[in-house]
Amino acid sequence: MSLSRIQPGKCRNKQHGKQNYTSRNDHHGYQVNGQRDQILINATWGLDEAIVSGQVTPDTVVVDKSTRKILSRKTATKTMMTVRTDTATAEQAVPQAQQNQQVLDDETAVQLAHYGAQIEAHYAMPMDIEWAIADGKIAILQARPITSLPDPKPVPLPDVVWEPIAPRTIWMHRQIVEHMPEPLSPLFEDLYLNQGMDKTLDKLLAAMAEIGNVSFDFDAMVPHGFTGTINGYAYTVGSFKMSRSNLIAILRIYARFYKFFKLSAFDWDGVVLPDYQTLIKRWGAIDLAETADEVAAIEARANGRPKRTTLPICLSVDGLIGICANRRILS
């Protein structure tokens, strides 16, 4: 929620003997940190010119927008104020007794915050509002949209702990998971990140073993899996348990790495494109309504409980996408 901002107000007239001077209150409803749940009120004696020209530092009162509770208050030393004369305005010293006196009491500050929140709600946008106080009565002078409101700082989620999938392991957002910047749905995680990646890795390891003529124990190398999720975000493992036999196998594979390019997976015209076209044709002929049970079963497994539905594709769009992606990987 955005905040109101009440800016320079032309102020209340206050009699002090024969001396007529004014009280000027400056109310800003946004914070420089972009917090939209607080209203910031600045206040000083006199007309607005003293603050606009930088001759005085105003008092500051921060009010919670929803509860109207005063969160903080800072009273400044105000030595100068702008007053009204018969023909214009003039600068004069603030009386000694008022220099360190707070301009707004709590009740008035809360009332100003209330008006500011009402005006913002009326316009449905952050507002810069000028107001004045005369003889104890608040008057709203004008309101205009705020165009330079800073972005709010993100609020940390409560009780969220970022820990590795297993103790003393390293997980990194790299390689294929770089294409998954947002949290994954349980269905996509099960279909693609778990099942799809496992099948793909099996094929890759089989090809590596064929090229290097070696036995490669990948499960021992990554006992907690190659991919996983932390708070819904996808990661790949960055710590490996390297055995002597696996190290030798890797070195032999790297020495024959050029043979990878002779595999059918690199034959676009003869293998890859025809396989892709076959998949498109096969999936284009599928009656989506018949996939309801399969999608429901996969989602139930992802959520860890039995589930049936009569909504075939409406179950979730990413369910269908996940199935397609999975089938393409496995085919």
DSSP 80-134: EEEEE-SSSEEEEEPPHHHHTS-SS-HHHHHHHHHHHHHHHHHHTS-EEEEEEEE
Residue 184 is part of which domain span? 171-330
- How much is the pTM? 0.44
More reliable by pLDDT, 258 or 170? 170
Q: What is the pLDDT of residue 184?
A: 93
Residues 80 and 194 in one domain: no
Residues 89 and 188 in one domain: no
Residues 191 and 108 in one domain: no
Taking the C-alpha atoms of residue 331 and residue 319, their distance in angstroms, rounded to an integer, is: 18
Residues 129 and 183 in one domain: no
Residues 192 and 132 in one domain: no
Q: Which of the four pLDDT bands, split at 50, 70 and 90, describes residue 318? A: very low
Q: Which of the four pLDDT bands, split at 50, 70 and 90, describes residue 171? A: very high
38 domain residue, yes or no: yes
Residues 65 and 27 in one domain: yes
Domain count, the chain: 2
Residues 178 and 135 in one domain: no
CATH code assigned at 116: 3.30.470.20
Query: How confident is the model over 15-34, as a mean pLDDT?
Result: 39
Taking the C-alpha atoms of residue 146 and residue 30, their distance in angstroms, rounded to an integer, is: 9
Q: Using DSSP bridges, classify how beta strands 227-230 and 70-74 pair: parallel, antiparallel or unpaired.
A: unpaired
Query: How confident is the model over 249-256, as a mean pLDDT?
Result: 83
Residues 102 and 218 in one domain: no
Asked which of 31-35, 50-54, 167-171, 307-311 is least confident by mean pLDDT, the reply is 307-311
